[in-house]
Amino acid sequence: MLSYRHAFHAGNHADVLKHLILLQIAEYMGEKPAPFWIIDTHAGAGRYALESAHASKLAEYKDGIGRLWEAKGLPPAAKDYVEMVRQLNPDGKLKHYPGSPWLARQMLRDSDRLRLYEMHTTDARLLLECFKGTGREVAITDGDGFIGLKAILPPPPRRALVLIDPSYETKSDYTAVVKALQESLKRFPTGTYALWYPMLSKLESRQLPDKLKRLGASNWLHATLEVKAPARDGFGMNGSGMFIINPPWTLEKKLHETLPKLTELLAQGDGAKYTLESETT
């Protein structure tokens, strides 16, 4: 797991889905006066230079945020997401991409807090540099976010968004996310949890959504975006999903408006599609 560097994939189609949803949830939480926290268990470096050796090696951003950069007629949620990325590129040229910590920070008010965890030593250092000079509203821990959740939940304001998006490089990550959500829901059942996962041919990836649905959460929303059909050889990621527990009531409608256009813009071949399902009991 410690070999994973998100810089290779910054701004790709999976980031588009994940970060668009992150912004929509944070915006909703900010509409109420009570303070809230955003907790990111696998924060990464905070922001990424798209012309760096890491990002330019695969240049996945060209088929992600790059396709939306000059697109016309974007749905409101997609437009808001692109405008947020533009804040990091004031000259209008797409050279930098914000990670979830940077995006989350932009959505906080003075009373809100951001709590970040990152295990990779290089990315943890870059994360500290990204938020250098920031006051107590941002706290960064060089360590395991799964362990961190046990100590931090429930948060003092009793309002929080928990973003969970490990690398899934090992089978243990699939087990860990389910266990983390089980334990977190016991400590903080009213929290909003947003779990990202890759859509791969491996069994663990295909079984994960059903395991999440069986957690017993009374209110969940599950969105997937596939940019192409799975490869015949079984290699590679053809899409990704977001499983949100206790989502804002407005989110499903916004995704219904947004996902068709995203699928059209981000398609990389036959088989591009999206799904959206929910349950409230």
| Cβ atoms of 151 and 182 closer than 8 Å | no
Position 135 scores a pLDDT of 79
Reported as half-sphere exposure (CB side, CA atoms, 13 A), residue 221 has a value of 19
Q: Is the pLDDT of residue 22 over 90?
A: yes
Average pLDDT over residues 4-27: 92
Q: Could you tell me what percentage of the chain is helix, strand and coil, using 3-state DSSP and rounding each to the nearest 5? A: 40, 20, 40
Residue 154 preceded by cis peptide, ω within 30: yes
Question: How far, rounded to the nearest angstrom, does the alpha carbon of residue 93 sit from its chain's CA centroid?
Answer: 23
The domains located in the chain, with CATH, are 6-280 (3.40.50.150)
> How does the average pLDDT of the chain come out, rounded?
94
What are the tens digits of pLDDT across the range 207-239?
A: 999 999 999 999 999 999 999 999 888 788 999
% of the chain residues with pLDDT over 70: 98
Q: Is the pLDDT of residue 84 over 90?
A: yes
Beta strands in the chain (DSSP E): 37-40, 47-49, 96-98, 113-117, 138-141, 160-164, 192-199, 219-226, 239-245, 273-280
Question: Could you tell me which residue, 7 or 26, shows the higher pLDDT?
Answer: 26
Per annotation, catalytic residue among 15, 63, 123, 165: 165
Question: Could you tell me which residue, 271 or 3, shows the higher pLDDT?
Answer: 271
- Cα(54)–Cα(265) distance, integer angstroms: 25
What are the tens digits of pLDDT across the range 140-156?
A: 999 999 999 999 999 99
% of the chain residues with pLDDT over 90: 88
Q: Is the pLDDT of residue 76 over 80?
A: yes
- Ranges 26-40, 47-61, 158-172, 243-257: which has the least confidence: 47-61
Average pLDDT over residues 59-68: 96
Q: Is the pLDDT of residue 97 over 90?
A: yes
pLDDT band at residue 254 under the 50/70/90 scheme:
very high
Strand bridging mode 192-199 / 160-164: parallel
Residue 241 φ then ψ, to 5°: -135, 155
Q: Is the pLDDT of residue 163 over 60?
A: yes
Q: Is the pLDDT of residue 241 over 60?
A: yes
Q: Which residues is 26 bridged to in the sheet?
A: none
In the residue annotation, 165 being an active-site residue is answered as: yes
DSSP string, 66-93: HHHTT-SS--HHHHHHHHHHHTT-TTSS
146 Cβ neighbours under 8 A, 6+ residues apart = 41, 176, 179, 180
Q: Is the pLDDT of residue 1 over 70?
A: no
Position 235 scores a pLDDT of 80
**What pTM was computed for the model?**
0.96
Q: Which residues is 40 bridged to in the sheet?
A: 116, 163
